[in-house]
Amino acid sequence: MKPSPAAAGVDGGATASPINDGPPRNTAGAGGPGGRGTAPGHPDDAAGPIIELSGVSYRYPGQKRDAVNRLDLSLGAGQALGLVGESGSGKSTSLAIMAGLIRDLRNGHVRFEGAPLTLRSPARRRYFRRRVQVVFQDPYNSLDPRQRIGAALAEPLIALGLEPSREGRRSRCAAMLAAVGLEPAMAERWPHEFSGGQRQRITIARALLTEPRALLADEPVSALDQATKVELVDLLRTIAAQRGLALVMVSHDLAVVAELCSHLIVMARGRVVEAGATGQVLGHPRQTYTRDLIAAVPRLPVEND
Amino acid sequence: MTALTGPTTAGREADRRPPATTTDPTYATSGPAADRPTALDSPAPDALQPASPSSPAAAPADDRPARAGRARRRPTLVVGAVLVGLGLLVAVVSLFWTPYNLTDTAGGRLEAPSLDHWLGTDKLGRDTASFVMVGTRIALQVGLGAAGIAALAGTAVGLAAAWAKPWLDDAAASVFDVMLAFPTLLLAMVIGAAQGRSTATVIIAIGLAQSAYVARLSRILARRVRGQAFVTAAIVSGSSLWAITFRHLLPNMWTMLVVNFALSFGVGVLAEATLSYLGLGVPPPNASLGRLMKEAQQTVLTAPVEAIAPGVMVLVLVIGANYLADGLRELADPVARGRA
Amino acid sequence: MAAYLVRRSALLLASLAASALLVFWLLRILPGDPANALLSQDATAEQVAAARAKVGSDLPWGVQLERWLAGLGRLDLGRSLASGQSVAAEIAQRLTVTLPLIVAAFLLSALLAVGLGCLAAFKADRWYGVGLSGLSQIGVAVPVFWVGLILVWLVALGLNWLPSGGFPGAGWGRPDLVAAHLALPTATIALGGQVAYLTRYVRAAALDVLGSDYLRTARSLGASLPAAFLRHGLRNAAVPVVSVLGVELGTTIMGAVVVESVFSLPGVGALLVQGIEKHDYPVVQGTLLIVTGWVLLVGFAADIAQRLIDPRLRQHHSQEAS
């Protein structure tokens, strides 16, 4: 599935508008159960969005510009949301805010399952961390080189008190390794013994061990080669479907995002520029920025004869 | 990045020794490059590389034979271990036995080395060799004790600073820098000054004087590890700060801290000797190597061995410490790089 | 450059202030009252009170600090508890011994280090190049005062044409005597670790240059090795070396502190040691301040010098500013 080539270069008059045109709106993910049609939902699924950002603004210390500016974003249960945009558009920052990693916001609120997100009490913290997990970009950095795989996988189980017995942890980790296409015996090995693709599988396994409702992925396949990318994307799609996971994927690679996500949010300079169903946004982009983004995807020169 | 915005400091060593390593003088834990905070914060090539995070440095236990083999190929580590081991041996033996009692003045005065008195006698007829042995023990006590105090206090404070809010962390870094502007020997002199002099206070004084350096080192190391994605992953997995510190930070920091411990030990030995020489260190009748040399100074012409031998011992210990640090550093890095 | 100068000067002043406070604070948090220096073991309560009043340690710290800072402003460092003399005057007098010693030792170290370091670098593959490296290992591990002892022994053994201690009573009135008396102390400081330490840095910097692309280019264009090194390499090699030299000059004062004891020189270092021995707090405070002040000032000068030499630093800075 590739983005429609017809979008390239077509500029239909009145719909061309500057980036900051209109109030930042988000039409993607208006909550609601399931987003994938017949796929089973997560056991915890209730009506209402899982994570909601309203009017969020944040600026990194020492920066002159907001990383995100009056951002509205909503992730519904089971929904697959893609965050795209150039570097510096605020996608990763948005993800970090959704993951509860950035707390000192200048403006706006973050809601989790309808209630304001507070991580003050250990109980609330554990509850949130169970249900919202993160997969990071750099496979060479997201596993502690001094920790065996088994220990890395078991860490969330220990920290969140999800499995008191060592045997139980071992078997759960083994099962999860199998689920992501790896050998259970690999739990005894060290991160450096694995390739980038395998390490990403391990980090995905770690994220899935807590049986989360939502998986936030920050450019999970950017550091991988093409073939591995495809495998990992397939894995993510399968897993999300099987477990009714909501998925947020940040990527600068439109092709990857288009594969996985039913809805897209295009960001620029910390604000939402365009949002909607993937096919809609890619096929009929309303903003120049979006069009430029789509046009920038390299296409193989194919001879039509 | 390289703009020198921090106060230049000088206080790495007791009287400015020992600094870097045999193989790489730009190894910045004790050179001027280390004393300038910005050189450490920038990714300068040799400055303070913890074993690169993308590879393990701690070999699993079953790798020990291989590691011993590697050690054989590393002369610096072996030489260092042998030298320090020698000193350790002498010190331990002195706990149980010395050729003569320290109070025994039966020997003739200022005798030259002989079979009876291996290093001769001092002006009161006491056996020099016995004094040197006990002095070695004191040097080791102080060196290890001070390095230990510096490691514990410094690491704890450095870790705390790394976790603290940015403004507090910055304030801590500034405090470290100011403290480092005082040469270690100076700090130790002053800290030990007002207190009743005993071995314990000397250890504490030298230890505290060095802890600012360890604090800065561990703060930088901790921050570096903290910036890695796997620490964020641990936070997302729900691990507490304590758990992250012990499970992720310290395991990725300890190799550099151990190298620094070895260097610290050398600094401590030199500091103790110098303080004792100046009369500000371990009080009599403790047989500190420094004090031995001070007392031997007047009679250096007639009994040079008495003045030279303690110095040789200090030399052995400090060179050993330097080589050990060098070797340990080599062990930590290339193993990691090789495996990655 | 001007902006940097201002910033760095501000930092210098802040560091000096912080040091002054640290000195004050260090001496006060430690157990033991300064007044003890004036008292004997079995002093009566009144004697203790009188001594404390005299020394001023019965006043609250805030007041003591005020007084001291005010004194600093007037360049008055108080009076020695032991001798009653003005500390500032005493220090000024002794600086005439210590400063020349420091400068001479530093110059000697720098010259020897540059020479030996370059030699070690150019002949790194010869046995004496390697030997020099090994020697420097020993050089940095050796106690300064031990070097002094050995030098005294050697000189006294051999020729005895250099005095092994003391300072001429006439002071600088007899510069030839002064030179003779400062010769061994200077050599001691230099050989007692400084030369070895600096040599390693010079060697590393020189090796860097020798292995560099621009040097190879210059040589391929026909320049001889020494000429190419001097013309192109010097500036680049100078940067880290100036940095080290700067710090070394600063810490030479600690070498002086020890060496003055070895050779019984009436310098600032000896004053510090005596002050500590006798718990003479005004003396200790004053000398500590001078010592750290020296270190900070030299560091400041070294930073400025390095900024001037290294075009990259200046360029980077101007890019920052724009």
Residues A194 and A282 in one domain: no
Which one, of C110, C143, C170, lies nearest residue C262 by Cα?
Answer: C143
Chain B residue numbers touching C280 (CB-CB < 8 A): none
Measure the CA–CA gap between A106 and C39, rounded to whole angstroms. 62
C166 versus B277: the higher-pLDDT residue is B277
- Interface confidence, given as ipTM, is 0.81
Tell whether A226 is covered by a domain: no
Neighbours of C9 (CB within 10 A): 12
Chain A residue numbers touching B227 (CB-CB < 8 A): none
Start-to-end CA distance of chain C, whole Å, equals: 13
Tell whether A224 is covered by a domain: no
Measure the CA–CA gap between C274 and B176, rounded to whole angstroms. 28
Tell whether A304 is covered by a domain: no
pLDDT above 70 covers a percentage of chain A that reads: 84
Span B36-48, mean pLDDT?
29
Tell me which of C243, C261, C274 to substitute to probe the interface with B (most B C-beta atoms closer than 10 Å). C243
Q: Does B57 contact A203 at a Cβ distance shorter than 8 Å? A: no
Which one, of C277, C143, C296, lies nearest residue B190 by Cα?
Answer: C277
Neighbours of C148 (CB within 10 A): 27
Quote the pLDDT of residue C319: 45
Which one, of C222, C296, A236, lies nearest residue B9 by Cα?
Answer: C296
pLDDT at B18 over 70: no
Tell whether A253 is covered by a domain: yes
Instruction: Please tell me whether residue A18 adopts helix, strand or coil conformation.
Output: coil
Chain C residue numbers touching B293 (CB-CB < 8 A): 143, 145-146, 149
Quote the pLDDT of residue A295: 81
Token output for A144: 């502690």
Cis preceding-peptide flag for C226 (omega within 30 of 0):
no
Quote the pLDDT of residue B214: 95
pLDDT at B43 over 70: no
- Residue C221 to chain B, least CA–CA distance (Å): 30
Tell whether A221 is covered by a domain: no
Measure the CA–CA gap between B80 and B136, rounded to whole angstroms. 16
Measure the CA–CA gap between A114 and A193, rounded to whole angstroms. 43
In this complex, which chains have at least 3 CB pairs below 8 Å with chain B? A, C
Give the nearest partner residue to C193 out of B8, B17, B279, using CB atoms: B17
Dump the DSSP string for C181-207: HHHHHHHHHIIIIIHHHHHHHHHHHHH
Measure the CA–CA gap between B147 and B259, rounded to whole angstroms. 11
Is there a contact between A96 and A102 (Cβ–Cβ < 8 Å)?
yes
Whether B and C touch, i.e. at least 3 CB pairs below 8 A, reads as yes
- Residue B208 to chain C, least CA–CA distance (Å): 12
Quote the pLDDT of residue C207: 84
Give the nearest partner residue to A192 out of B235, B251, B340, using CB atoms: B340
User: pLDDT band at residue C321, thresholds of 50, 70 and 90?
Assistant: very low
Token output for C8: 């760095």
Span B126-137, mean pLDDT?
89
Measure the CA–CA gap between C74 and B284, rounded to whole angstroms. 41
User: pLDDT band at residue C55, thresholds of 50, 70 and 90?
Assistant: low
Note whether C146 contacts B: Cβ–Cβ < 8 A: yes
Question: Domain ranges in chain B?
Answer: 74-92+115-339
Measure the CA–CA gap between A266 and A288, rounded to whole angstroms. 11
pLDDT at B19 over 70: no
Span C13-33, mean pLDDT?
76
pLDDT at C70 over 90: no
Note whether B33 contacts C: Cβ–Cβ < 8 A: yes
Measure the CA–CA gap between C257 and A68, rounded to whole angstroms. 58
Residues A102 and A138 in one domain: no
pLDDT at B4 over 50: no
Q: In B, residues 195-234, which contact C (CB 8 Å cutoff)?
A: 195
- Residue C67 to chain B, least CA–CA distance (Å): 21
Measure the CA–CA gap between A118 and C90, rounded to whole angstroms. 65
- Residue C297 to chain B, least CA–CA distance (Å): 9
Chain B residue numbers touching C22 (CB-CB < 8 A): 178-179, 182
Predicted TM-score (pTM) of the model is 0.80
Give the nearest partner residue to A142 out of B52, B55, B230, using CB atoms: B230
A104 versus C84: the higher-pLDDT residue is A104
Chain B residue numbers touching C240 (CB-CB < 8 A): 26, 33
- For the beta sheet containing A115-116, the strands, ordered from the edge strand earlier in sequence to the opposite edge, are A68-75, A51-58, A107-112, A115-116
Give the nearest partner residue to B236 out of A61, A134, A141, using CB atoms: A134
Q: Does A138 contact B239 at a Cβ distance shorter than 8 Å? A: no
| B62-72 confidence digits (pLDDT tens) | 444 445 555 55
Note whether B339 contacts A: Cβ–Cβ < 8 A: yes
Beta-bridge mates of residue A271: A268
Mean pLDDT of chain A: 82
Instruction: Please tell me whether residue A57 adopts helix, strand or coil conformation.
Output: strand
- For the beta sheet containing A80-84, the strands, ordered from the edge strand earlier in sequence to the opposite edge, are A132-135, A214-218, A246-251, A80-84, A263-268, A271-277
Tell me the backbone φ, ψ of residue A43, rounded to 5 degrees.
Answer: -50, -30
Residues 6 or more apart whose CB falls under 8 angstroms from that of C210 comprise: C121, C122, C229, C233
Instruction: Please tell me whether residue A216 adopts helix, strand or coil conformation.
Output: strand
Chain A residue numbers touching B238 (CB-CB < 8 A): 125-126, 129-130, 156, 159-160
Quote the pLDDT of residue C154: 84
Tell whether A195 is covered by a domain: yes
- Residue B159 to chain C, least CA–CA distance (Å): 23
Span A16-34, mean pLDDT?
38
Measure the CA–CA gap between C165 and C157, rounded to whole angstroms. 15
**Closest alpha carbon within chain B to A125:** B238
Is there a contact between B108 and B282 (Cβ–Cβ < 8 Å)?
no
Say which residue the tokens 């940040």 belong to. A250
Q: Does B236 contact A101 at a Cβ distance shorter than 8 Å? A: yes
**Between B and C, how many CB-CB pairs are < 8 A?**
215
Give the nearest partner residue to B243 out of A130, A146, A159, using CB atoms: A159
Tell me the backbone φ, ψ of residue B15, rounded to 5 degrees.
Answer: -110, 45
Quote the pLDDT of residue B7: 27
Chain C residue numbers touching B6 (CB-CB < 8 A): 11
pLDDT at B57 over 50: no
Residues A47 and A145 in one domain: no
Residues A96 and A73 in one domain: yes
Measure the CA–CA gap between B14 and B12, rounded to whole angstroms. 7
Is there a contact between B22 and C137 (Cβ–Cβ < 8 Å)?
yes
pLDDT at B235 over 90: yes
Tell me which of B2, B5, B8, B35 to substitute to probe the interface with C (most C C-beta atoms closer than 10 Å). B8
Quote the pLDDT of residue B2: 27
Residues 6 or more apart whose CB falls under 8 angstroms from that of C193 comprise: B15, B16, B17, C139, C140, C142, C144, C147, C255
| B154-173 confidence digits (pLDDT tens) | 999 999 999 998 889 888 88
A272, containing H or E segment: strand A271-277
Measure the CA–CA gap between B283 and C282, rounded to whole angstroms. 24
Q: Does C19 contact B181 at a Cβ distance shorter than 8 Å? A: yes
Residues A109 and A128 in one domain: no
A163: domain CATH number?
3.40.50.300
Q: Does A155 contact B234 at a Cβ distance shorter than 8 Å? A: yes
Q: Does B194 contact C32 at a Cβ distance shorter than 8 Å? A: yes
Tell me the backbone φ, ψ of residue A251, rounded to 5 degrees.
Answer: -160, 150
Residues A207 and A279 in one domain: no
User: Which amino acid, residue C109?
Assistant: S
Note whether B306 contacts C: Cβ–Cβ < 8 A: no
Q: Does B26 contact C302 at a Cβ distance shorter than 8 Å? A: no
C102 versus C322: the higher-pLDDT residue is C102
Quote the pLDDT of residue C246: 82
Which one, of A212, A203, A293, lies nearest residue A247 by Cα?
Answer: A212
- Residue B18 to chain C, least CA–CA distance (Å): 5
Q: In B, residues 232-271, which contact C (CB 8 Å cutoff)?
A: 266, 270
User: pLDDT band at residue C107, thresholds of 50, 70 and 90?
Assistant: very high
Alpha-carbon C121 to chain mean position:
27
Note whether B171 contacts C: Cβ–Cβ < 8 A: no
| A160-218 confidence digits (pLDDT tens) | 998 899 999 999 999 999 999 999 999 999 999 999 999 999 999 999 999 999 999 99
Q: Does B270 contact C143 at a Cβ distance shorter than 8 Å? A: yes
Measure the CA–CA gap between C224 and B191, rounded to whole angstroms. 55
Residues 6 or more apart whose CB falls under 8 angstroms from that of B237 comprise: A129, A155, A156, A159, A160, A206, A210
Instruction: Please tell me whether residue A287 adopts helix, strand or coil conformation.
Output: coil
Say which residue the tokens 């009017």 belong to. A55
Quote the pLDDT of residue A44: 67
Give the nearest partner residue to C143 out of B11, B314, B322, using CB atoms: B314
Measure the CA–CA gap between C220 and B111, rounded to whole angstroms. 65
Is there a contact between A114 and A126 (Cβ–Cβ < 8 Å)?
no
Number of domains in chain A: 2
Is the domain defined by B74-92+115-339 classed in CATH 1.10.3720.10?
Answer: yes
Measure the CA–CA gap between C255 and B151, rounded to whole angstroms. 26
| Structural domain of A168 | 122-212
Tell whether A220 is covered by a domain: no
pLDDT above 90 covers a percentage of chain B that reads: 39
Q: What is the DSSP letter of B68?
A: H
pLDDT at C312 over 70: no
Span A130-135, mean pLDDT?
94
Span C289-306, mean pLDDT?
84
Chain B residue numbers touching A206 (CB-CB < 8 A): 233, 237
C245, containing H or E segment: helix C234-262
